[in-house]
Structure 1
């Protein structure tokens, strides 16, 4: 009787050990990859866009990692004028370092001959007048037709190195109040079909030193947690370790951010810097079939 009890205890312990080690009982000999959990950024970061220890929110949105101060507080790192094609609407924008390791956008001289609800926002793309909605826009701020434009907007959501934002835009916003009309079927903004389209756009020229001026990405061998394809600037696959100059990576099923970074000889901070809007699950796994940037010039 005692021998049966000992045997049963050993069997239960064996099953428990399999569960605790994270090994796949049905999926071969390799253990599942274990993403590293890192300290969460400040509460002002994107929610990639909630905040958890993986460097992204639990909803799979991106976050910026706050690092050391890039430039002294008060330093102007970008400055431009936003002017509509007709010239009837304009505002001066400059980006200044704050004392918290991030940046503020200062607006001045806003003028318009066509008062209307307006939004200012920063975009990763090089925007042009007429462009539509951009879900990756940062620091989107709206004011009403009878209100002054804001004088300062926080860019903390863009992190300590916001130079991945390539343009700033003015976008006419929807009217928020109820329309004063006897015809309930008339849309509030029926006479403003341009609402939501870019009215004015300007490219941003940044003056922020790179935190990794000597960064060189090397192609390592595919491995569990980093099985995806690597591509060069021409879009050709790089199949051999050390071959060609990698510029992008296609995330494969089961890839995690820590292992992908190691495959290319990068730290996790460097991978995030290269991919400021990288979307990560709460457990550190990357979103399958998304493309990661491996070129510092491609941020």
Structure 2
């Protein structure tokens, strides 16, 4: 029997943009939507109350990274890799029947009977350890006591800054009381690349975008906010849109400013 633990919130916010779900989930790269064209068919007669049906306005590509996968779609998988024997089991992240998200632990066991916290984290383990990460805080899901077993944690994505795209979390961690990570499961995501081919080029300091840039393997990787920098100006400095900057930095609120000395992610590969 699977134990299911909830993470509070309202209805899911994944449903904002449905138009590209099918193509994205199958791994296809959609071409840009066609420009609006006049409605086809016979022209309305003079004196008639019949009018042509207007062509819907295509959804801008910048807004297409909100998407709604079908229920039961597997978004990520992983397994605990712990040589000390503190935890074992498999991890699956999938779309639930109510279109929220489930983080499922299968065959999970832990030797820590005092209770451990299960949390999604941007920390990297294994071959990608040390690579850049999004500067976002962990997402605690719940506490598991004793031997564990099969458990599912429910996530309601409504109102989240990341719009329900959790693929910037690189692992699921088992955290002992006191904050020590005793085991981790690196996650492999099937969520598509919403901005394929996106490349950032630093055009240099500008008004409201005067922060310091750090490169990684020859490309801009992070940005240190300076003074009264604002997200729109920072995006323009690197030749991207505000939506693309927010995609790279799901921890940033659209309607807020940037706090001095905080760090932004500029890496598409290491989002």
For 2:164, which of 148, 160, 166 is the aligned residue? 160
Q: Say which SS state the counterpart of residue 143 (structure 2) adopts.
A: strand
Which structure 2 residues correspond to residues 24-103 of structure 1 after superposition, within 5 A? Answer: 67-69=65-67, 71-82=69-80, 84-87=82-85, 89-98=87-96, 103=101
- Stretches of structure 2 that go unaligned for 5 or more consecutive residues are 1-9, 14-62, 127-134
1:204-243 paired onto structure 2 within 5 Å: 204-233=187-216
Q: Does the alignment pair 1:277 with 2:260?
A: no
3-state DSSP of counterpart to 1:271 = helix
2:240 counterpart residue number: 266
Name the residue aligned to 2:4.
none
Q: Which structure features the higher share of helix residues? A: 1
How many equivalent pairs are there? 202
SS in 1 for 2:181: coil
Q: Is contact 2:109–2:148 with CA below 8 Å preserved after alignment?
A: no
Deviations 1:205-234 (A, max 9, x none): 111111101212132343322122334326
**Judging changes above 3 Å, is the alpha-carbon distance between structure 1 residues 104 and 86 closer, same or farther for their aligned structure 2 residues?**
same
Q: What is the aligned partner in structure 2 of residue 151 from structure 1?
A: 152
Aligned-pair Cα RMSD in Å: 3.4
2:179 corresponds to which of 184, 192, 196: 196
TM-score between the two structures when normalised by the length of structure 1: 0.56
Q: In the alignment, is the contact (CA less than 8 A) between 1:115 and 1:146 conserved in 2?
A: yes
Stretches of structure 1 lacking an aligned partner (at least 5 in a row): 1-41, 46-64, 129-133, 174-194, 235-243
Distance 2:187 2:72 in 1: 18
CA displacement at 1:121 relative to structure 2: 0.8
Cα distance in 1 for partners of 2:64, 2:79 equals 28
**CA offset digits 1:142-174 (Å, max 9, x no partner):** 14449876423317355432221111111234x
TM-score by length of 2: 0.61
Looking at structure 1, the residues matched to 71 and 227 of structure 2 have their Cα atoms a distance apart, in angstroms, of 42
Say which of 257, 264, 270 aligns to 1:292: 264
Deviation at residue 107 of structure 1 after TM alignment = 2.1
1:102 is displaced (CA, Å) by 5.9
Give 2:117's aligned residue.
Answer: 119
- From the superposition, tell whether residues 139 and 221 of structure 1 become closer, same or farther in structure 2 (CA, over 3 Å): same
Shift, 1:76, TM fit:
1.0
